[in-house]
Structures are given as structure tokens and as C-alpha cells.
Structure 1
Amino acid sequence: MAPSTVQTPNLAFDPAREGAVADLRTNGATPYERYARLDVLHTLQEPRSTVDAELSFIITTQVMELLFDLLKHEWTLTQQALRSDDLPGALAALRRGAHVQDVLNSSWDLLATLTPVEFSAFRPVLGEASGFQSSAYLRLEFMLGNKSERLLEMYQGSPEVHRELAEALAGPSLYDDVLALLARRGLTGEPTVTGERYRADEAVQAAWHTVYTDPAQAELVVLAEALLDTAERVTRWRQRHYASVKRSMGAKPGTGGSSGLSWLKAAADQDVFPELWAVRGEL
């Protein structure tokens, strides 16, 4: 029988290792704690009630907000790559973003355990706070082309946030950059960038029909499908949001003055990148 190749851990005294451990004990936080700012992170959860479920609500909300920032990062990289005609780079960023969206959608599972009685017990401490007020999420909606200048009004008291959102409102959406790429390929006209919600365009639908039926446009088909992956996950997010609210609070008006379920249902029924959905009936 050949000698064993399994190596046992070296438990002998190692002065360097023991010295490093001693240094951590006397000098506070580990490098990992300092890098991830755990001293700050774990102080940000401050329930305002004695209801156990409130901590889960706070942490889930904070995780979502962090993931919104990560998704904005990936979609911004997508736009930059599209403007440089770097299709592989755009696809890589879109696919990373899709994984972020999957985690976001799964995060609703943490709130699925919240009963109406539990939510009603701590809802008063929310006051006028509502997820509808999330500037990070609104930024994502603007990036998708779902723009509304009226929504900027709630950020008048936060000049920096208002400025960033106003720039996103006036600037090209991710889909605008996709359409600009199609225009450079001679498939459609140059998109008109506005501060209003994107509306489906028959000429754009015709361009996508050409993409799907012309073998020479195979790489654009890959982009179209990656965009549909993104769009489908947006719809799943909106549907999960609707179902979560319906489960935890029913048809009550939303906090912060929103209309609650009716607004969420309308959002869930709205397609992102509409021509990519419509053209499928023609293929």
C-alpha cells in the first residue's frame, strides 16, 4: 500500500502566527473587520419597537439597498461598454447584474415570514418612511427608461440626491444606449433622449425583428437575450414586491402616502424594453 498523502495540520508552535494573533488581541479590529467596516455595519440596525420581526425587516431593507448600489454599478458599466462598442464587456456586466437581480428577488423570502399582525405591530414606528422613497431604487428605474420628473419632488431636501437623480432623468437610459448601438449598426434611427418614460416604438420593433432574422446580426441576438434576462428579472422583482405587500398588509394604503397595492400592480404589469417582448409574436 502506498504511503498516505493526507497531511495533518501543523500544530507546532509558530512564533510568527502566535505573534500575529497576540497583535490582533491588543490592537483591536482584524484586517477583515477594518476592510468591511464591520464596526459601522453592525451598528446600523436599530429597531424602534419590541417586535422581533422588525429586525428582519430592517436588515432585509438594508441588504436590498446595498444590492441596488451594486446593480447600478453593473448597469453603468454596461452603458459605458455599449458607448465604446464593447459588446463582450456589456454582456459581461449585464450577466453579473442578472446574478445581483437573482439575489435581490430571493431577498423577498426573508419578508415572506412577516405576518400581518407582526407588521401592523411595528408599522407605526415607520412613520412616513416607505420603500417608495428609495432614491437608489428610483435611480435604477430611470436607468431602465421608466422616468418621471414628478418623483424628484420628494428629494428637494437632499440636494446631492436630487442632483444625481436629475442627471439620470435627463441622461440616456441603458436602453437608450442599446438603441444608439443599433443606430450605429444602421438598424434604426438615433434615439431621442428625454426625461419621460420610454414608449414603445414600431421602428425599434422592426429593428429587433431584423436582428433576430438576419444571421449577420447574431451577436446582437445575444445582447437582446441578455436584455430580456434583465427585463424578466425586473418583472419578477415587481411581482414579488406586490405579493409581499399583499401578504403582509393587504389592500391598506402604503406608508409614505403611496397607493399601496394598486401602484405595485400597475408597475408589475409594465414591460421593460417593450419591443423585445412584442417582437416575439412576429418571429
Structure 2
Amino acid sequence: MSTEKIVHQEGAQLDFSESMSYGDYLHLDEVLNAQHPLSPAHDEMLFIVQHQTSELWMKLMLHELHAAIRCVAADQLPDAFKMLARVTRIMEQLVSAWTVLSTMTPPEYSAMRPYLAKSSGFQSAQYRCIEFALGNKNAAMLKPHEHRPDLLALVDAAYRSPSLYDEALRLMARRGLPVPANHLERDWTLPYEANDEVEQAWLVAYRDPHKHWEVYQLGEKLTDIEDAFRLWRFRHVTTVERVIGFKRGTGGTGGVSYLRKMLDVVLFPEIWKLRTDL
């Protein structure tokens, strides 16, 4: 049967007149009409779509991260592993997205920059919740959200909750590994600091992975996430430098200089240090 006949027959059977459509299910009218450039610059559409799609990926990432944290807290590691693997893949998508934005040249960005006023990616509540969920706590990062009480409440809740790594250490203690007591109940708003005793607990699992298979696997899932997160941060820095150089960010940050400092943040320090000490 020819391709033309197959297409004709399939088309004759299609009738969506009384059912929910693809666009209805995905609310595409709202999504595809949410881009409202403020400048006459052609390239502003790229800038808007880049950031909107990134926020959608971050929404999914938080969905997976929050569920994974709950699973780790409930000793349901197989489920957590699937969610954490998905977080890593989402970060890979976000890394790739920067390559699209990097096609914007400095003159193209300069043409639209005045229309951004003081709006800045620094104000992304979802990104801040991701940072907090991964343990990079900083009270100063609550301030950019003070203008929106609903967003401030969301970020503050993430700030005050145990991070993914905090819950991982508590699970290790429940599995009989020698995590120090002061890491099981502490002020969750404080940034995590590396600890030799915690590294020793991880080393027990890594020296006998068959006996401590799930903890060992958890360590590797965390490594995957931080590896991907570092790449995401690095592509952010290089893209910003490529497009605006060392100008200050629209939100008043140091721009590239600030982003470069973030490259030095280590989320799960003992998991990286143990590789040297094994």
C-alpha cells in the first residue's frame, strides 16, 4: 500500500471534535502566548524563551528533588535513585540550553538590555530553592524575593529544611555508619561544612560497596548531580562573559565575577575528598 493511501486512511479516522485536544491538555495557548518582548530587538524572543524553558525544567527538577529527599528520609532508596538520575539529566538539558543563548552577540544583547530594568536571573525563586535543596544555604539570598511574599515563603521553606545531603547523612546513620551526632540534628539554615568524621563514614561504604551497596549508590548519584551542576554553572559563566563581558548584572551583582565565585562552591565535599583518600 502506498504511503499516500496510508496517510489518507489514517486521516479519515481522525476525529477530535469532542475530545480534549493536545493543545488543551498542555495549555499551549497560555504557554505560547506568554512571550511579550518589551524591546524592538529581534533577539529578545530568544532571551525570553531561553529563560522560560529553563524555569520549566527547574520546576520539574524541584518536583524530582523534593520527592527524592522524601524518599531518602523514608529509606526508599531505589525510588530516590530514579529521581536523582532524572535530576542529573535535567541539568544536562539546562547545560545545552546555554549553547543556544550563546548565539546572542554583545551588540544584540545591548539592544535589549535597557528594557530589562533591574530584572535578573538572580531573582529566580526556583533556582534558589534548588541551591538550598542541594545544601548551599545563604540567608542573604532570601532578600531578592522580599517583594513577593508568596515567593519569599517558598524560598524560606527551602532555606529552613534539611537538604538532600543532610537527609543522606541521616540515612547513613540509620544504616549503622558512623556519622557524627551533630550532623543528624543541626541548624539546617547553616551552610554545610566538610567534616573528617563524615568522610570516614562514607569511606566505610566505599571500601565495602557490596555490604553498603545502597549507600555507595547514593554517593554516586550525588556525585553525578554535583558533576552536572558544576557544568551548568560553568556554561552559565562562560555564556554571560561571552555576551556581556565583565559588566555588572542587571540585578546589581558583579556579573561574571560573582558567577566565578560560585564555581568554587562544593556541595558534597566528603564525597569528592574520599576519592583521594581511598
TM-score normalised to the size of structure 2? 0.92
Tell me how far 1:220 sits from its aligned partner: 1.6
Is 1:254 aligned with 2:249?
yes
How many residues align? The count is: 272
Tell me how far 1:154 sits from its aligned partner: 2.1
Is 1:166 aligned with 2:167?
no
Separation in 2, partners of 1:123, 1:110: 18
Give the counterpart letter for 1:212 in structure 2. Answer: Y
4+ runs deviating over 4 angstroms: 12-15
- Is this contact kept in 2: 1:171–1:193, CA < 8 A? no
Residue 204 of structure 2 corresponds to which residue in structure 1?
210
SS at match of 2:222: helix
Distance 1:14 1:224, change over 3 A: closer
Distance 1:272 1:8, change over 3 A: same
Residue 9 of structure 1 corresponds to which residue in structure 2?
6
1:225-236 equivalent positions in 2, closer than 5 A: 225-236=220-231
Deviations 1:101-124 (A, max 9, x none): 111111101111011111111111
Distance 1:13 1:50, change over 3 A: closer
Give the counterpart letter for 2:203 in structure 1. Answer: H
Residue 239 of structure 1 corresponds to which residue in structure 2?
234
Task: Compare CA radii of gyration and give the structure with the larger one.
Answer: 1
Residue 189 of structure 1 corresponds to which residue in structure 2?
180
Is 1:114 aligned with 2:104?
yes
Give the counterpart letter for 1:142 in structure 2. Answer: F
Residue 139 of structure 1 corresponds to which residue in structure 2?
129
Question: In angstroms, what is the RMSD of aligned CA positions?
Answer: 2.1
Residue 84 of structure 2 corresponds to which residue in structure 1?
94
Separation in 2, partners of 1:258, 1:165: 19
Separation in 1, partners of 2:256, 2:29: 38
Distance 1:33 1:189, change over 3 A: same
Distance 1:12 1:46, change over 3 A: closer
Is 1:53 aligned with 2:47?
no
Tell me how far 1:153 sits from its aligned partner: 1.8
Separation in 2, partners of 1:39, 1:262: 39
Give the counterpart letter for 1:246 in structure 2. Answer: E
Identity of aligned residues (%): 35
- List alignment gaps of at least 5 residues for structure 2: none
- Is this contact kept in 2: 1:234–1:272, CA < 8 A? no
- Is this contact kept in 2: 1:72–1:140, CA < 8 A? yes
Give the counterpart letter for 1:235 in structure 2. Answer: R
- Is this contact kept in 2: 1:142–1:169, CA < 8 A? yes
Tell me how far 1:189 sits from its aligned partner: 2.8
Residue 75 of structure 2 corresponds to which residue in structure 1?
85
Give the counterpart letter for 1:272 in structure 2. Answer: L
Tell me how far 1:194 sits from its aligned partner: 2.1
Separation in 1, partners of 2:7, 2:163: 56
- Is this contact kept in 2: 1:91–1:223, CA < 8 A? yes
Separation in 2, partners of 1:164, 1:138: 10
Is 1:198 aligned with 2:192?
yes
- List alignment gaps of at least 5 residues for structure 1: none
Q: Which of the numbers 160, 169, 180 marks the counterpart of 2:170?
A: 180
Tell me how far 1:167 sits from its aligned partner: 1.2
SS at match of 2:251: helix
Distance 1:73 1:14, change over 3 A: closer
Deviations 1:149-197 (A, max 9, x none): 1221222221111111111111101111101101111211342242121
Separation in 1, partners of 2:71, 2:103: 40
Give the counterpart letter for 1:39 in structure 2. Answer: D
Separation in 1, partners of 2:102, 2:11: 49
Tell me how far 1:7 sits from its aligned partner: 12
- Is this contact kept in 1: 2:122–2:144, CA < 8 A? no
Separation in 2, partners of 1:155, 1:49: 25
Tell me how far 1:208 sits from its aligned partner: 0.9
- Is this contact kept in 1: 2:129–2:158, CA < 8 A? yes
